[in-house]
Amino acid sequence: MNNKVIIVEKLTKIFNGFTAVDGISFEVEKGEIFGFLGANGAGKTTAMKMLCGLSMPTSGKAIIAGFDVYRENESIKKNIGYMSQKFSLYEDLTIKENIRFYAGIYGIEPKVIKTKTALLIEQLSLEKEANMLVKQLPLGWKQKLAFSVAIFHDPQIVFLDEPTGGVDPITRRDFWNMIYEAAAKGITVFVTTHYMDEAEYCDRVSIMVDGQIDAMDTPGNLKRLFQAESMDHVFLQIARKAKRAE
Amino acid sequence: MKQFYHFIIKEFYHIFRDQKTLLILLGMPMAQIVIFGFALSNEVKNAHITIVNQSNSAASVKLVQKIESSKYFEIYNQSTQTTDIEKMFRKGSIKIALVIPPDFDKAILAQNSSRLQIISDATDPNVATTLTAYLSIIVAEFQKETNQPNSIPYTIDVETRMMYNPQLKGAYNFVPGVMAMVLLLVCTLMTSLTVVKEKELGNMEILLASPVNPLIIILAKAVPYLLLSIINIITILLLSYFILDVPINGSLVLLFLVSILFILVSLALGLLISSVTGSQKAAMFISLIVMFLPTVMFSGFIFPIENMPLPLRVISNIIPAKWYFIIVKSVMIKGLGLAVIWKEVLILTGMMLFFFTMAIKKFKIRLS
Amino acid sequence: MEKFVSEQFPIIVSSVSKSYTTGKTVVKALDNISFEVEKGSLFGLIGPDGAGKTTLFRILTSLLLFDTGRAWVDGFDVITGYKEIRKRIGYMPGRFSLYTDLTVQENLNFFASIFETTIEENYDLIKGIYAQIEPFKNRRAGKLSGGMKQKLALSCALIHRPSVLFLDEPTTGVDAVSRKEFWDMLQALKNEGITILVSTPYMDEANLCDKVALIQAGRILGINTPQHITQSFAKTIYRVKNGNMHALLQEARHWDFTEQVYPFGEYHHVVIRQGSPEPQFPAGIDAGKIHPGIEDVFIDLMRNNEQ
């Protein structure tokens, strides 16, 4: 039995002769919080799309939650959750309707949805707002709710694409608290961010430059390796090497 | 002035770089002419007919031959039984049937009179009426020819002449209609979309925060579509003249000038729509549903306005295309000059000034 | 007198309020905002999304009317003097607002022409920025990377040598390297005598401004130089760390000297309850007193504001 829920070997994606992702390899363990960092245009989004089964790799191997990205992308989608800053919830549906809708997509029993929804609303202390439209909520709450919805079906892995962009510092921390709780339950968290202090909250981070992974380790080891006092400095040292102007 | 020039250059870049849209804009008039000219024609040609010839005499055969030689009918089959007619109508194999009675020959000779039966499929009343009329005319001609030697006294010969369109071609009516439609689509829809697009994408925010006069933003948007529309008019006129044989009887210069006037009305309307809407969806909806549909219905090119009830006739007066349609028909088909169409030209000029003024007045110098 | 004031302060905001009505609810986007920006300085509006930063920018760039209060830019009232203001300011909205189907050079040319100037005339001002994207001048703006788009947008906003520059969240969604480069460019522009108002949700960027206003839910929580804001923070903060950060966070909440504790990079920050004696940390915890940062102050102000 191995505990590796993401296994990636020499994964490559070429668009019209342009190598967006250039032979990346890494493994992520169950319950790990994995920070996936990189400069704009380094290939993060492309890599993430392949891992979610949305885009076919050109070559290489990727096993996500035990399923092959080439042949079993439908099974992958059932076993992962996804949330991004841009796409999350339907603004013109209420909180309850959004939860119901997303839970329904994953084929959860109506009875289970009902009990779990009540529990979730209690946890987020949104009892008063449960029947309010999502667009009436402050941004921070929306993001917290979106995350809860993304892990509602207890996926093995949740992919978070810049989940905290523009969120206030308190809510940002609340959000990370939720990430920790999810990880403690055994959900693997794969997260991208531009906040370098958030990179410190990850168990391990990788930094992509020009389609390749240039560094990958725990934040502590990376700081020692680059003799830097913070992840911000580590990132600046690595990403400055980028030649690609996209 | 330099600002204006750069604005126009920019608009042309937008148009030329969106080649799919450009192709549609330039190809649309051609497609319209082809569709209306060949596919959607309301002239009836080669209608299937069955002839039940129970007489089978020399006279009846002559009548059948006459029908066969007409371009309006194509004989589907001939028989001596009336029993199959209904079946053929049900299957839609024929549009009309003619029954020639057994005593057809004798009756003509003996009593100078006989009866024929015409049965037609009236699910489409216009086609049924037209076909029945055509068949009656053929029969009447046949009667005239047969009677020639021993002419009956006191017959009245009606000689009809179809003015301006002797061959009763539908093209004479729809070419002006297509011109109005295409110009309205290109000018109103496209200009309203292009201005609103700048609002949606946020470009307008920077333009508003700059010293550019709103008048320049608006007018620069209109210029490229004015030119595109002139190209479209030329295409339509060439196609209709050479392919559909529609003559241009009046002054070509006058036709062009009034078309430009109509283009300006449509552009002004497009700019007005863009001034009052905030999204491309809304602009599209207003242009298509609120402008385009009434144009098709109330310009008189598909449904004659004279047949409409009074309230609709009154509404038709505010549709710019109605006036343009009248002008084009007068100049192009009837060959009339400005002396006759000045009233319509005046109305369109008034509309143009009104829409332009409104568009500029309604243009917001701030966001929301 | 007013002339003098406007010369010294190109941006003056006085008790400005603005509400939006969506359906039945009235949202106060700006609640009695006042501040001045000194000539030739770099002023930062620091706050999360939805704090009212964009509304304030639109008011100052004469694009939006407001309910009460007054505001002047470069000596002109933002409502009555909008024509003058629009000649003098440069504005970079939060969302990329150039023409994606035009090339880099075509965009720049176009914006030069609408301000009735040419690229050559002010080339020395934008040179430092534009030179970096000039190799791609024939590329369509839509095909540029985030960092390059931002440089082009800044070049376009500067092409007429504005006296006041408004930058609404120029670094949002941009990676750390490009962000650093961008702030270096702003320092250079400041040295050219241009007054800059910039907004950002990244708290760490506050230190790069001459003066900042911390803004949250339409209200200003504090205005001062970043140094003054952090130095005048009355509470004591310790950073703590051990082998199990998650457990440590739970544990630290229960220490009797803890007022607040929250993760902060590789440490947790513990705000010490006022009046507590020198804190004694349990064994095995790496703890040290630190100078509070802008983010610490912001968190504290936010919490007090909510209560």
Tens of pLDDT, residue by residue over B4-59, are 999 999 999 999 999 999 998 899 888 888 887 776 666 677 888 999 888 888 88
Chains A and B touch (3+ CB pairs under 8 A): no
Q: Which of B17, B82, A177, B285 is nearest to C261 (CA)?
A: A177
Quote the minimal CA–CA distance from C43 to chain A in Å.
Answer: 19
Q: Please give the pLDDT value at position A1.
A: 43
Of the listed ranges A132-146, A176-190, A203-217, B154-168, the least confidently predicted one is B154-168
**Alpha-helical runs (H) found in chain B:** 2-17, 19-34, 58-69, 85-91, 104-111, 125-147, 171-184, 191-201, 203-208, 214-242, 252-276, 280-285, 293-298, 310-316, 320-328, 338-362
At A202, give phi and psi (nearest 5°).
-85, 150
pLDDT, one tens digit per residue, over C75-124 is 999 999 999 999 999 999 988 889 999 999 999 999 999 999 999 999 99
Q: Which residues of A touch C (CB under 8 A)?
A: 38-42, 136, 138-140, 162, 165-171, 173, 176, 180, 184, 194-197, 200-201, 219-220, 223, 230-232, 235-236, 239-240, 242, 245-246
Q: At what angle do helices B19-34 and B2-17 cross, to 10 degrees?
A: 70
Residue A75 burial (10 A CB sphere; 0-12, 13-18, 19+): middle
Concatenated DSSP letters of A114-145: HHHHHHHHHHTT-TTTTTSBGGGS-HHHHHHH
Of C96, C106, C114, the CB nearest to B13: C106
Confidence of residue C178 (pLDDT cuts 50, 70, 90): confident
Rg, chain A, Cα only: 18
Rg, chain C, Cα only: 22
- Share of residues in chain A with pLDDT > 90 (%): 66
Quote the minimal CA–CA distance from C270 to chain A in Å.
Answer: 14
List chain C domain ranges: 2-224, 234-291
Q: Calculate mean pLDDT across residues A22-44.
A: 92
Rounded Cα distance between C60 and C54, Å, is 10
Buried b (16+ CB within 10 A) or exposed e, B35-60: ebbeeeeeebeebbbbbbbbbebebb
pLDDT at B343 exceeding the cut of 80 = yes
At A102, give phi and psi (nearest 5°).
-65, -40
> In the structure encoding, which two tokens stand for residue A236, read together?
């600046």
> In the structure encoding, which two tokens stand for residue A56, read together?
């076919």
What average pLDDT does the structure give for chain B?
86
Q: Which is the CATH superfamily of the domain at C2-224?
A: P-loop containing nucleotide triphosphate hydrolases (3.40.50.300)
Cβ-defined contact of A245 to C148 (cutoff 8 Å) = yes
Q: Calculate mean pLDDT across residues B152-157.
A: 62
> In the structure encoding, which two tokens stand for residue C23, read together?
């359906």
Q: Are strands C25-37 and B96-100 parallel, antiparallel or unpaired?
A: unpaired
pLDDT, one tens digit per residue, over C232-287 is 999 999 999 998 888 899 899 999 999 999 999 889 999 999 888 889 999 999 99
Rounded Cα distance between B130 and B168, Å, is 12
Cβ-defined contact of B17 to C101 (cutoff 8 Å) = yes
* HSE value, Cβ hemisphere, 13 Å, CA-based, for C147: 23
At B275, give phi and psi (nearest 5°).
-70, -30
For the beta carbon of residue C247, count every other beta carbon within 10 angstroms.
Answer: 10
Q: Calculate mean pLDDT across residues A132-137.
A: 87
- Chain C neighbours (≥3 Cβ pairs under 8 A) are A, B
Say if residues C236 and C272 touch (Cβ distance below 8 Å): yes
Count H helices and E strands in chain C, helices first. Answer: 10, 14
Rounded Cα distance between B56 and B62, Å, is 10
Domains (range + CATH), chain B: 2-40+169-362 (no CATH), 47-147 (3.40.1710.10)
| Fold type of domain C234-291 | Alpha-Beta Plaits (3.30.70)
Q: Which of C213, C298, C226, C217 is nearest to C34 (CA)?
A: C213
List chain A domain ranges: 4-239
pLDDT, one tens digit per residue, over B271-319 is 999 989 989 999 999 988 878 888 888 888 778 888 888 998 898 899 9
pLDDT, one tens digit per residue, over C181-233 is 899 999 999 999 999 999 999 998 999 999 999 999 999 999 999 999 999 99
Say if residues A134 and A142 touch (Cβ distance below 8 Å): yes
Of the listed ranges A25-39, B226-240, C22-36, the least confidently predicted one is C22-36
Q: At what angle do helices C123-133 and C176-191 cross, to 10 degrees?
A: 170
| Residue C223 in contact with partner chain A when CB distance is under 8 A | no
Say if residues C92 and C168 touch (Cβ distance below 8 Å): yes
pTM: 0.85
Cβ-defined contact of B203 to C114 (cutoff 8 Å) = no
Q: Please give the pLDDT value at position C1.
A: 41
Q: Which amino acid makes up residue C109?
A: N
Cβ-defined contact of C176 to A139 (cutoff 8 Å) = no
> In the structure encoding, which two tokens stand for residue B58, read together?
């020399």
Say if residues B185 and B267 touch (Cβ distance below 8 Å): no
Q: Please give the pLDDT value at position B252.
A: 93
Look up tokens 């449960």; give the residue.
A130
Q: Please give the pLDDT value at position B111.
A: 63
Rounded Cα distance between A46 and A211, Å, is 9
C96 contacts on B by Cβ (under 8 Å): 202
Rg, chain B, Cα only: 28
| Residue C195 in contact with partner chain A when CB distance is under 8 A | no
> In the structure encoding, which two tokens stand for residue B209, read together?
């925060």
> In the structure encoding, which two tokens stand for residue B20, read together?
């799919």
Cβ-defined contact of A236 to C176 (cutoff 8 Å) = yes
Q: Which of B71, B74, B75, B77 is nearest to B43 (CA)?
A: B71
Say if residues B56 and B103 touch (Cβ distance below 8 Å): no
> In the structure encoding, which two tokens stand for residue B96, read together?
């009309």
Q: Please give the pLDDT value at position B92.
A: 84
Rounded Cα distance between A171 and A159, Å, is 19
Nearest CA in chain A to C245: A201
pLDDT, one tens digit per residue, over A37-62 is 988 888 898 999 999 988 999 999 99
Question: Can you tell me whether residue C303 is helix, strand or coil?
Answer: helix
Rounded Cα distance between B115 and A236, Å, is 102
Question: Can you tell me whether residue A1 is helix, strand or coil?
Answer: coil
Confidence of residue B130 (pLDDT cuts 50, 70, 90): confident
| CATH of A4-239 given 3.40.50.300, 3.30.70.20, 3.90.1150.10, 3.40.50.720 | 3.40.50.300
Q: Please give the pLDDT value at position A246.
A: 46
Q: Please give the pLDDT value at position C26.
A: 85
